[in-house]
Amino acid sequence: MLIMNIATGTIQFLALAFIFVIGVLVVAAGVLYILDRLQAHDAIRRNYPVIGRFRHLFSSLGEFFRQYFFAMDREEMPFNRAQRDWVTHAGQGSSNTVAFGSTRSLAVPGTPIFVNAAFPPLDGQFAKTAQMTIGPTARAPYVAPSIYNLSGMSYGAISKPAVQALSRGCAKAGIWMNTGEGGLSPYHLEGGCDIVFQIGTAKYGVRDNDGRLDDDKLRAVAAHDQVKMIEVKLAQGAKPGKGGILPGEKISDEISAIRGISKGQDSLSPNRHAEIDDWGDLLDFVAHVRDVSGLPVGIKTVMGAEAPFRELFALINARGADSAPDFITLDGGEGGTGASPMPLMDLVGVSIREALPRISDLRDEYGLHDRIRIVASGKLVNPGDVAWALCAGADFVASARGFMFSLGCIQALKCNKNTCPTGITTHDPRFQQGLVVEDKWQRVARYAKAITKEVETIAHSVGVTEPRQMRRRHVRIVQPDGTSIPLNQLQPRHDQIDINA
C-alpha cells in the first residue's frame, strides 16, 4: 500500500510539473506573440508571430550544419574540408596518404595537373630546396632558407598565444614570420624566428605623433637581429584600396602601446601612404627605408591592371636596378584573414591565379628576374598550390590562413568579432585558454615542413632537382571542355628563363 501511495504521489507530482511547464510555455508563447505582432522591424515575425523566430535560428545554424553534415569534402568556401584536413594531418604529424583514388574532380576548369617525367630522378637524387638571397644591394642581405613562409597577421588582429605559437613554430621550421601591420611585439621575438617587419599605411610601431614614419623607431626595429626584411604594404587581398580595421574591443593597453594608438577606439588605417602619390614616390620611400634600416625592403600589393606595373618596372630601369624594391609580395584578390566590406572581399583585385603569371612575366620582360624576388600570397595552403605558384613564376610563397588552420582554426568565420572559438583571433581570455602554445607551435612547424617536403616530392616527380626549377611546362591547366593545356602555352614567357639559374 505504501508503495502504491508513493507511486500515485509521484505521478501526481509529475502531472502537475508537466501542467506547470506547459502553462509557462503557453504564457511565454503568448508574450512573444504580442511582442512580434507589435514590433515593426521584422516583417516575417510580424506576419508569423513566434514561429517566424525560427527563421533566424535556422539561418544562424545553417552555416554550422552545412560545414559538418551537408557539404561534401570539396564543396565548401573559402576552404573546403579536404584542404583543412590536409593541414590538420600535417600539423599532427599524421600520414596524408589516401587510398582508393582522389576525391578531387579533375574536370574543374583551372585545376592544375603536374606533368610527371618519363624518367624521373632516382630516389637518391631527390629534389632539395636551395636558399635564395633577397636584397643583394642592402647592407644586410637576407639569405632566405625556405620557399614557404608565414604571411602578415598582426598582433591585435590575432591573439598573444597565437603569435607566440607561430613565432616558435616558424623558428623550428626555419621560415620567416611576417608581423603584419600591427608593429613588432615581444611575442614575435620570443620564439627566435626570422622576422619580416611590415610597415602599413598607419605606420604602426614606427609612427610619429602625426602618423608619419619615425626614422629613430625604424632604426630601433631594424636593430633586432631577428628582423631580416621590411615590407611596405600598399594593399592586401582582403580589401584593396582600403586600410586595415582593428575593432576597439581588441585594443588593450599593450596593443595600444605597441601600435601607438588609443585604447578602446576602432583603429582605421589610411587607404594608402600619405607621402606616396606615385611610383617615383614609392621608389624614394623604399630607398629611404632601406638606407635607414640597412635591410632588404619590398612592397606588398594586389594587381588591378598591368599598366601600372609596366610603369613601375620602366621607372626602375630608368633609375637603375638599385632603385628596385628587393621583393614584391603579390596578394590575390580572393580575400584574406583581414575583416573587410563584402564588395572589396568579393569583387576587387585580380586573383593570384591570373596575377602571378602576369606580374612575373612583366618583371622578367624588363630584365629584373634576378633583382626582384616575387612572393605569392592568396589561398595557397596545400602543396599543389605552392608548386603551381613556383611553376607560374614565384620565388617564394607566403600564407596566413594555412598557418591559422595549423593552429586549430575551424573556419568559424568570426575573425572580426572577438569571439573566435579557437582563441586565434580573439582577446577574450575565455577563448584564448583553448590555444595551448606548447602544443600548437609544434603543429605550426610540422605543417611548414610538410608543405616543403611535398612540394619537393612534386618537383622530384616532374624531373627537377630543386622546386624553383619547375617551369610552366611542368603543369597543365584544365580547360572548360575537360581537356588540359600546358601553362607555358597559356603564359609562355617564364619558360624562357634558364632552368639552372
Rounded to an integer, the average pLDDT of 396-414 is 84
CB 302 within 8 A of CB 237: yes
pLDDT above 80: residue 58: no
pLDDT in tens, 123-160: 777 788 999 999 999 999 999 999 999 999 888 888 89
pLDDT in tens, 337-379: 556 666 666 667 788 999 999 999 999 999 999 999 999 998 8
**Which residues, in sequence order, are bridge partners of residue 400?**
none
Q: Is the peptide bond before 141 cis (omega within 30 degrees of 0)?
A: no
As a whole number of angstroms, the distance between CA 235 and CA 243 comes to 8
Amino acid identity for residue 423 in this structure: G
In the block, residue with C-alpha cell 599532427: 92
The better pLDDT of the pair 471, 123 is held by 471
Listed in sequence order, the DSSP H helices in 330-483 are 342-347, 352-365, 383-392, 401-407, 429-432, 437-462
Instruction: Please give the mean pLDDT across all residues of the chain.
Output: 85
Q: Write down the pLDDT at residue 309.
A: 95
Residue 453: phi, psi to the nearest 5? -60, -45
| % of the chain surpassing 70 pLDDT | 84
pLDDT above 50: residue 501: no
Q: Write down the pLDDT at residue 6.
A: 65
Using only the alpha carbons of the chain, give its radius of gyration.
27
pLDDT in tens, 293-350: 999 999 999 998 999 999 999 999 999 999 999 999 999 877 665 566 666 666 677 8
CB 296 within 8 A of CB 290: yes
pLDDT above 70: residue 79: no
Query: 286 by DSSP, 3-state: which?
Result: helix
As a whole number of angstroms, the distance between CA 467 and CA 465 comes to 7
Q: Write down the pLDDT at residue 106.
A: 75
pLDDT above 80: residue 115: yes
Rounded to an integer, the average pLDDT of 424-448 is 86
Strands (E), 313-382: 327-331, 373-377
Q: Write down the pLDDT at residue 60.
A: 62
pLDDT above 90: residue 496: no
pLDDT in tens, 376-390: 998 898 999 999 999
Q: Annotate 17-72 with three-state secondary structure.
A: HHHHHHHHHHHHHHHHHHHHHHCCCCHHHHHCCCCCHHHHHHHHHHHHHHHHHHCC
Exposure of 342 by Cβ count < 10 A (0-12 exposed, 13-18 middle, 19+ buried)? exposed
What is the CATH code of the structural domain delimited by 123-496? Answer: 3.20.20.70
Q: Write down the pLDDT at residue 386.
A: 95
Q: Write down the pLDDT at residue 228.
A: 98
Residue spans per domain, the chain: 2-70, 123-496
Rounded to an integer, the average pLDDT of 440-463 is 93
Exposure of 70 by Cβ count < 10 A (0-12 exposed, 13-18 middle, 19+ buried)? exposed
Among the listed residues 379, 394, 386, the one whose alpha carbon sits nearest the alpha carbon of residue 337 = 379
Q: Write down the pLDDT at residue 500.
A: 46
pLDDT-based confidence at residue 73 (cuts at 50, 70, 90): low
CB 23 within 8 A of CB 35: no
Rounded to an integer, the average pLDDT of 404-417 is 76
pLDDT in tens, 250-298: 778 888 888 888 787 777 788 889 899 999 999 999 999 999 999 999 9
Q: Write down the pLDDT at residue 248.
A: 75
pLDDT in tens, 155-177: 888 889 999 999 999 999 999 99
Among the listed residues 374, 400, 381, the one whose alpha carbon sits nearest the alpha carbon of residue 182 = 400
The better pLDDT of the pair 106, 150 is held by 150
pLDDT above 70: residue 103: no
